[in-house]
Each structure stands twice: as structure tokens, then as C-alpha cells.
Structure 1
Amino acid sequence: MEINLISESFWGNKKKISLWDRLFRRSKTVNKALSTPELISKNCRGLQLGNEKLKSFLFSTDMALIENNDSDAILAVYPFPPSPKIIKTLIDFAGKPIVCGVGGGTTKGKKSVEMAIYAEEAGAAGIIVNIPFENKDIKKIREKIAIPIVATVASSDYNFLKGKIDAGVNIFHVSGGAHTAKIVKEITAKFPDFPVMATGGKSLHNIEESINSGSRAIVLSPPSNKDLFKTIMNKYRRAF
């Protein structure tokens, strides 16, 4: 189904499929209802997780949105304690790499270690911890799992970042609001070879800024089901 989103949303931009791909590719390229912007696949360097190079992450645990989006991977984070049932369901369902949230300001210590171990055993491509998560707990997780640890950060302070790297973090996820691109640029200047991904913001300009600043992958927040239904229902009301 074609969903025409509000004009200022980058989700409304459909990817162009070349004539060659349409005619000759055995595995046909399919335009999903929520297509990620082409500038990500064209301009991002990509993050290596396992055997895959990932450039776009959908920030969602909604199965309908995951099914109808063509991002490379899923960032499964939610404002509740991590759930084994949710972790296993998303990994089995998505058909693409999942990075699972296992802790932050509320969930920490032994519980986070247990969830990280479970996520790895269930097939997660990586785990992610939020800004308040303590380095001592990152070290405990690092001792128990082999998959990458991602840490969300909103600062470019050298000692803060170095502490996380020393604790075992493999990737920084920058979520700094309007300052995201600036923080990415400062981190990549201080740690030139360290992988960084960034929240994409609300516009193509925000995404482009983060990529140009050194982000190797972009995290995209999809429109809500409420907003999608509002667009569809407005169309139906006008038609009928």
C-alpha cells in the first residue's frame, strides 16, 4: 500500500529502482511503504557488525513498522525493563540484525548482565546501553559476551568517552538532539578510528549533517501508527 506522508517527512521519498534492477535482478528490489533515504546507503561508510555492514537502523519495536521498512537493522530500545520475550520475538521476526537495549538509568547490574547474555544467545547482533549506564557494569557485560556493545552518548568529553572505551564499548551512538552533528564531529576528531552512529533527526538536512560529521550509520525514528493512520483517514474522508 502506498502511504503518502506529510510533505516535510523524508519517509515520503521513494527510492528509485533502476531499469537494470527491475528487469534483471533475480532478487527483485521492493519499495517498502517506509523507505529509508537513499543518501544513507550512498554516503554512509557503514558499521561492521558480524559479517554485515550496516548503514541504517530503525528505532522501533513495532512489528508492523519493522515489516514495512527497508532499514539494514533494528535498534530495539524501549522505556521499560528489558524483556526476554520481546528480545526473542523481535530477533525471530525481523529477518535482519537486532541491537537490543539491556540497561540504562533504571536497569543495571546483574539484571543487565543477564539480559546481555540472553540477547547474545538469542541471536542479537549487538546490545546497547543508555547514557547513565555505569562503566563498572559495562565491564561485567564485556566479560560475558562477545557481540558488540553500543553506548548511547550525548557528550564529547574525552574522559567520559575514554572511560566507556576502556570498559569495553565498541560503538558510540550519539543522541544529542540539535547538537548531534557537532558531537559526532568532536568525537571523531578525538577518536578518529572509533565507530560512531547517530540519531538522524527529523530532516534530510539533519541526516546529511551527521554523515558529513563522521557518522558511519544513521538511526531513524519512524512515524507513529497514529500519524500514519491520520494521513490515511484524511485521504479516505476526502474520497468518500
Structure 2
Amino acid sequence: MTDKPVIPNLTSALRSNIVESPNVIRKASGIRLFGKRIKSIVYSTDVAVIANCDADAILAVYPWTPSTRILEAISKVANVPILAGVGGGLTKGLRAATVARFAEENGGSAVVLNAPTSLETLHSVRRMVDIPIFYTVVNETTDLLAYIDAGVNALNIAGGRDTTKLVAWAREQLNDTHPNFPIIASGGKTDEQILETIRAGANAITYTAYGMTEKTFHEKMAKYREQQN
């Protein structure tokens, strides 16, 4: 058996401090979205992070009413697929469907509906867009098969500290009818937590980049101060 080949890494002096995804995510199987294999997904709306990260895709979901201006800004700097949040809670029905259509027309590769999206809203979005729909699962009360039958193409599992357990539950629910259904999930803060989530059945992992702009800036400023002494 030959050793696993080393992957050459090309970068530049001005792009040496990109936000890197945890290496353990590479152990995931990945999902194919319009032919592109996705394993690591950065969860951020910080355009500076989005423009300077090595993630395979962007999860652009946030806790306010979806804004087409935010999506437009993200689409201008992202060079990987965007999974665009389009509501589902307060933003629902025709409004969610309209935002979803805008996302598709502005380069979104998929849309994400938050819990507790109603089946009525899901139907509205499904009629409006051709791109895949991700549905966010937050607990074990969701009737997964009902949402899949209504047009959901993949699950985004976000159960906080119970995410690994929730991924395993979802796989068990879908094992007989949809054994290879795509699941992305938040991986946690450590390699061990991420690996547990992958082993539970997640095909791709989302990771947060909160504070990365400030952290990187503080590190650079400290280095600049040392150089000035």
C-alpha cells in the first residue's frame, strides 16, 4: 500500500493568513452541489472572512429578517457556493419565497429555511426556485419525511451541544427510505466533537468564524508593534 500523497499548498505573501477550516473536516464524505464537492462550510456573514477563508461553501444565515442587500454583498466577495438563509420563522410565505428567488438569481447555490418553517412556506419556496432547499433541524420533533416529500433536498442540523445526537437520530429516521440523504451539521469547537458528528452521519461540517477578523487584526497589530520597537 502506498502512502497517502502530500497535497502541495500554493499561497502568497498577501494571502498567508486566511481563515482555515479544521483539518479533521476532511474526513467527512462531503456532498456534491452542482458537481462541486463540499465538506467544510463556514458559517458567517462577515464579508472579510468570506473573502479570506478556505471553506468549500458559505452558510449565510443570520437571526434577522433576510435582506437582499446582505446577500448581494456576500455574493460579490464569495468565490465558493453560497447557502443562503431565506427565513422560515418570522419571514415566511410569499416573502420567504421572494427572497429565495432573489438568492437564486444572484448566484446562491442553495437556500436554507430555518425551523419552524411551515410546510406551506416550504411549498411556496419550492414553487419559486430550482436550486436545492436545506431545512434546519433543531430537535427531534420534526417530521423529516413530510419535509422531504414537500421538497427539502438536504438537512442542516443545528442542535447545539446535542447536534451529534440529533444527526444520529436523523440518520435512523431516514435509514430505510433515504439512506444517503445529504446532511450538514455544526461540528463543535474541537476536533473530537467534529469527528463525532461525522461518525454520527454528517456529510459536511459547518464551523463558525466569529471574531476571526478581530483576532487576526489584533495578531497583526501586535506584530507591527514589535517591528516598530
Whole-angstrom CA distance in 2 between matches of 1:21 and 1:141: 42
Cα deviation for residue 208 of structure 1 reads: 0.6
Q: Secondary structure at the match of 1:178?
A: helix
Backbone CA RMSD of aligned residues: 2.2
Partner of 1:209: 196
Cα deviation for residue 133 of structure 1 reads: 1.4
Whole-angstrom CA distance in 1 between matches of 2:202 and 2:17: 24
Cα deviation for residue 230 of structure 1 reads: 4.6
Whole-angstrom CA distance in 1 between matches of 2:40 and 2:191: 13
Partner of 1:124: 108
Cα deviation for residue 148 of structure 1 reads: 0.5
Per-residue deviation, residues 182-203 of structure 1 (Å, max 9, x unmatched): 1101111221221111011111
Of 115, 133, 140, the match for 1:156: 140
| Overall identity of the aligned pairs, in % | 37
Cα deviation for residue 235 of structure 1 reads: 6.0
Name the count of aligned residue pairs.
216
Partner of 1:172: 155
1:40 aligns with 2:25: yes
User: Is the 1:32–1:70 Cα contact (8 Å) retained in structure 2?
Assistant: no
Cα deviation for residue 234 of structure 1 reads: 5.8
How does the TM-score come out when normalised to structure 2?
Answer: 0.85
Cα 1:213/1:86, change in 2 over 3 Å? same
Cα 1:203/1:112, change in 2 over 3 Å? same
Whole-angstrom CA distance in 2 between matches of 1:178 and 1:235: 36
User: Is the 2:86–2:111 Cα contact (8 Å) retained in structure 1?
Assistant: yes
Per-residue deviation, residues 138-162 of structure 1 (Å, max 9, x unmatched): 01111121100001111234x6212
Amino acid across the alignment from 2:194: I
Correspondences of 1:1-240 after superposition (within 5 Å): 18=6, 21=8, 28=10, 32-41=17-26, 43-157=27-141, 160-191=143-174, 192-224=179-211, 225-232=213-220
Amino acid across the alignment from 1:187: A
User: Is the 1:91–1:97 Cα contact (8 Å) retained in structure 2?
Assistant: no
Runs of 5+ unmatched residues, structure 1: 1-16, 23-27
User: Is the 1:21–1:29 Cα contact (8 Å) retained in structure 2?
Assistant: no
How does the TM-score come out when normalised to structure 1?
Answer: 0.82
